[in-house]
A = this chain, B = another copy of it.
Amino acid sequence: MDLVRRTIERYVPLTDAEWSRIAPNWQEFAFTRGARICGIGQVEQRFYIVKSGVQRLSFPHDGNDLCIGFAYDGSWCGEFASFLSRKPARFEVTAVTDSALLGIQYDDLQQLYREMPIMERWGRLLVEELILGRAVREVEQLSLSAEERYDRLMARSPHLLQLVPQKDIASYLRMTPETFSRLRKRK
């Protein structure tokens, strides 16, 4: 649970008093491999910090899943768009491995925002960071070839190959499992 405090404090400092107001709002959730953390059509109720495990963000598209991203230790997890907008999720979140997540309920977070300007700031900085990540990924998607995207991911997150099925990585890189397999062989 201290993980939550450390994670928040990467953005804003917290006094012990502030933390003791915040802490009770966070709860631990366990998901077994393959479990659905948020399904398409439902409204995401929580925002999570990953304590352990790997999770996948994806959406189904004629037959197979298109993979949008992964979350792991220390990163955020959840269907943010649904969480923020309170609209049905377009993406689903699945536990790729057994996972322990620390989550906060939407209403509780809004209450914290209302009571504590420091939390409002945290919320802003957090979403700003998400935007920056998206911008980087957008450039890479647009300007790199299939092979370059493969190289880039393997350079940055080689561990992913051990953690999640190749077809998911392939989909994340916007290529078919066949192409991914052929690229691996070439190296």
State the A residues within 8 Å of B (CB). Answer: 59, 61, 66, 68, 80-81, 84-85, 90-91, 113, 117, 120-121, 123-124, 127-128, 130-132, 134-136, 138-139, 142-143, 174
Interface on chain A toward B: helix, strand, loop, or mixed SS? helix
Cβ-closest chain B residue relative to A135:
B81
A124 — which chain B residues lie within 8 A by C-beta?
113, 120, 123-124, 127
Interface centre among A61, A84, A130 (most CB of B within 10 A): A84
Task: For A131, give its contact among B68, B91, B134, B174 (CB under 8 Å).
Answer: B134
Are A131 and B81 in contact (CB-based, < 8 A)? Answer: yes
A80 to B121, CA, bound (A): 18
A7 to B78, CA, bound (A): 30
Task: For A59, give its contact among B66, B136, B139 (CB under 8 Å).
Answer: B139
Cβ-closest chain B residue relative to A83:
B128
Cβ-closest chain B residue relative to A79:
B135
A132 to B85, CA, bound (A): 8
A77 to B113, CA, bound (A): 27
